[in-house]
Amino acid sequence: MGINQKSKKYLGSFEEYLKNEKNFSIHTIRAYLADVLTFLIWVNEADIEEIDTKKFSEYLYFIDKANYTKTTIARKIASIRSFYRFLYREEIIDFNPTDSVNGPKRTKNLPSFLSDDEIETILTNVKISTPSGYRNRVIFELLWVSGMRISELSGLNYENLNLEQNEITVYGKGAKERIVLIPDRTKDVLKNYIENVSNLICKTEKSAKCPVFINNHGYRLQNQSIRKALKEVVNNIEISKKVTPHVFRHSFATRLLEKGADLRVVQELLGHASIANTQIYTHVSIQRLKTVYEKTHPRA
């Protein structure tokens, strides 16, 4: 099996579209291209213009039998649909065969979150006696108090910090800019890291375009390194939940809503394009209310 040469050319144009117009992350672009490439290899040498709804439905049947999860299948369908919408927009095709085909509905799992005590346990168990340990403590606290995504945090440069106003500018999905807020306590530990600790990790300049969080070689600290550091801390304490950097984000949103924050405010702080993405946290709060009710109400 191979890939039609015209399809290969279109795939290259699609990649440029995702980079330059959609401003997708490298990780997202790779996932989209891999999904579309798998589909194009499956249809073999068929011209892209000849692929109809029946052929696309056959592919869905094929990947369904491959025992992918519903979430993976939904992502593959979304990638291929995006590709075909691009082709339709560019007038390469006259008909989009993916429009009339429904994929599996995703199972909506309630996001996991940590209690205040669990977060404090994690933070207090970070060994801050070393420069890298202090850096990690600052990172975990920032994730908790700001609701930033891990990629947003690792991508911070000094020009993004406005510590006088307790503000940090971050760039989320699709390079969408927003302001996140931090409390005075977090501002103080961040300033101490910048002024006194970062040079102990590696001496580097601190100009506007330089990364805030660096590794021992002075380069930007990568997401994988942050995940690894968090895993090492969690493995040494007794927390039954799976803890990832994104769980800090879930915890941030859940806590704000439980304290009475407006849903639109939480949406803005999280950088969600749609409020539907934020509403899932209201379900978490309701579930917690039900748990408390069942434990405490005499008639429950």
Q: Give the integer Cα–Cα distance in Å for 163 and 206.
A: 15
What DSSP line would sit under 54-107, residue for residue? HHHHHHHHHHHHTT--HHHHHHHHHHHHHHHHHHHHTTS-S--TTTT---PPPP
Burial of residue 146 (number of CB atoms within 10 Å: 0-12, 13-18, 19+): buried
Task: Mark whether 281 is an active-site residue.
Answer: yes
Q: Is 177 helix (H, G, I), strand (E, B) or coil?
A: strand
Residue type for position 89: R
**180: β partners:** 168
Active-site option among 81, 137, 149, 255: 149
Active-site option among 173, 178, 220, 227: 173
Residue type for position 62: F
Q: Give the integer Cα–Cα distance in Å for 194 and 45.
A: 56
Residue whose tokens read 């996001």: 111
Q: Is 179 helix (H, G, I), strand (E, B) or coil?
A: strand
Task: Mark whether 299 is an active-site residue.
Answer: no
Active-site option among 76, 249, 250, 255: 249
Task: Mark whether 85 is an active-site residue.
Answer: no
Q: Which sign does the torsion angle of CA 18, 19, 25, 28 carry?
A: positive
Return the DSSP state at 196.
I
Contact present, 97 and 52 (Cβ < 8 Å): yes
Burial of residue 61 (number of CB atoms within 10 Å: 0-12, 13-18, 19+): exposed
Return the DSSP state at 159.
G
Task: Mark whether 297 is an active-site residue.
Answer: no
Active site residues: 149, 173, 246, 249, 272, 281
